[in-house]
Amino acid sequence: MTAQEIAQKAIEAYKAAEAQKATAQRSTPAIIRGLNDNKTEQPSDVSDVKSRQLVFARMVRAAMVAKAVHGTMAPFACRQVVEAWQKEKKHVFNEYILEKAMTSDVLASGGAFVTTEVAEGIIELLQAATAVRGTTGVDIRTNTTGSLKIKRLDSGATANWIGEAQSITASALQTGYLELTAKKLGLFVPMSNDLIRRQDANIDVEILNSLKTTMAVAEDTAFLRGTGTVYQPLGIYGAIDQTNNVFSMTATPTVLTVTTDANKLMNAVQESNIPIINPVWYMRPKIKNYLQTLRDTNGYNLAFPEIAATGTWFGAEIRTTTSIPANLGAGTATEIYYGEASALIIADCLNMSVTQVDNVTYLDANNNAVYGSQTDESAVRIIHETDFALRHNTAFARLDGVTWA
């Protein structure tokens, strides 16, 4: 028999007993009255912790009395005890409490008296931190048409020292465009309308924020290592000068080799005449932690105390993210980047758009059509359009095969 059937039978038994109200009133066992000689504070709101504790204690007492009087803790017996208390106005239980306590199929063990409590909020999904967009100095532009062309000089003029009456050698400027085309990033999550109707508003906000974070991480990953296909931006990894600005880690990391490798990256950028205004490092958290705790050759002093003090290394901001892979090379290597943040261009065509689609039709993971009007489902759709580029391909350098840890 289900919990609902048990509850229904208990209610029917109670209604039948009401027809003999006077007799039931006179025959109320003394043990019930004896347990309630003293009036106590009445619970008023089951959302109040003290009230819930009071309700629990009284429902346990009701079960004990039902066992003593009727020989059972069955729902009808407990309800009769509670109703007797109600009539004597010793304890007050509103209908919510009665129904919650009296409609469980585990009532006989007393477990039904414990109402399941769901805490406010939701345990967040652990996701990678975003690094690129939040970097100080990044050039963020609006791309209203979906295609943004930025004029650039591909080669400059030439100046010559000349003598009296000599002609100045003519030189020509060569110009071009850096074009950014909107790439669309989308997220589509079907969900039960029951969930939408019944969950509290705080959880709604937290779930939405989690979905937006998922979008931000996907964007950040593309800004770092995007493939540059027709649908995805070209990230820093592929946009930099692969001949002159990519290096491999020096074997056996020490303070000396780490410093030498860092110097290679800084020289590659700065020797390309890139103006250094907002320099930045991108790396995994474990690399920053390694550098932060690395000690000098004597083992006493920190090699780079500025990392803990200011979050910078050689004067450049450190931004960490686990979106940079840690399984490269033989499976344990990662990579780090150094460059000038103002050379990073983000062209946003459409700010993140969030839409709820009612009674949605969609394809599931097995490519089968699902009709939300039949399954009572809606969906959350998030769309974001943007593109990414380097102002100059020498503005960043990369160190591969990093196993500092």
> Mean pLDDT in runs of 10 for the chain (405 residues)?
48 56 46 40 47 56 66 73 67 47 43 50 74 95 91 84 86 86 91 69 72 91 94 96 97 93 98 97 97 90 96 97 95 97 94 82 85 84 93 97 92
pLDDT for 24: 43
Q: Which phi-psi region, left, alpha or beta, contains residue 110 (left: φ > 0; alpha: ψ -120 to 50)?
A: left
Give the integer Cα–Cα distance in Å for 308 and 148: 40
pLDDT for 334: 97
Could you tell me if 217 and 130 are in contact, meaning their C-beta atoms sit under 8 angstroms apart? yes
In DSSP notation, 213-258 reads HHHHHHHHHHHHH-B--TTS-B-HHHHS-TTTSEEEPPSS--HHHH
Give the integer Cα–Cα distance in Å for 210 and 204: 10
pLDDT for 108: 45
pLDDT for 36: 41
pLDDT for 175: 84
Could you tell me if 391 and 345 are in contact, meaning their C-beta atoms sit under 8 angstroms apart? yes
Could you tell me if 90 and 42 are in contact, meaning their C-beta atoms sit under 8 angstroms apart? no
Could you tell me if 112 and 101 are in contact, meaning their C-beta atoms sit under 8 angstroms apart? yes
pLDDT for 121: 58
pLDDT for 201: 57
Nearest Cα neighbor of 390 from 335, 318, 341 is: 341
Give the integer Cα–Cα distance in Å for 55 and 62: 10
Backbone angles phi, psi at 348, to 5 degrees: -90, 125
Task: Give buried/exposed letters for 107-135 (b at 16+ CB in 10 A, else e).
Answer: bbeeebbeeeeeeeebeeeeebebbbbeb
149 three-state secondary structure: strand
Which amino acid is present at 197?
Answer: R
Give the integer Cα–Cα distance in Å for 107 and 6: 10
pLDDT for 320: 97
* All domains in the chain, ordered by first residue: 3-113 (no CATH), 125-154+175-405 (3.90.1690.10)
Give the integer Cα–Cα distance in Å for 78 and 13: 12
Q: How far is CA 240 from CA 76, 108, 231, 234, 270, in A?
A: 77, 71, 20, 10, 14
Other Cβ atoms less than 10 A from the Cβ of 335: the count is: 23
Residues β-bridged to residue 189 = 380
> How many Å separate Cα 257 from the centre of its chain?
37
pLDDT for 199: 58
Pairing of the two strands 316-320 and 344-357: unpaired
The H or E element that residue 371 is part of is strand 369-371
Pairing of the two strands 361-363 and 316-320: unpaired
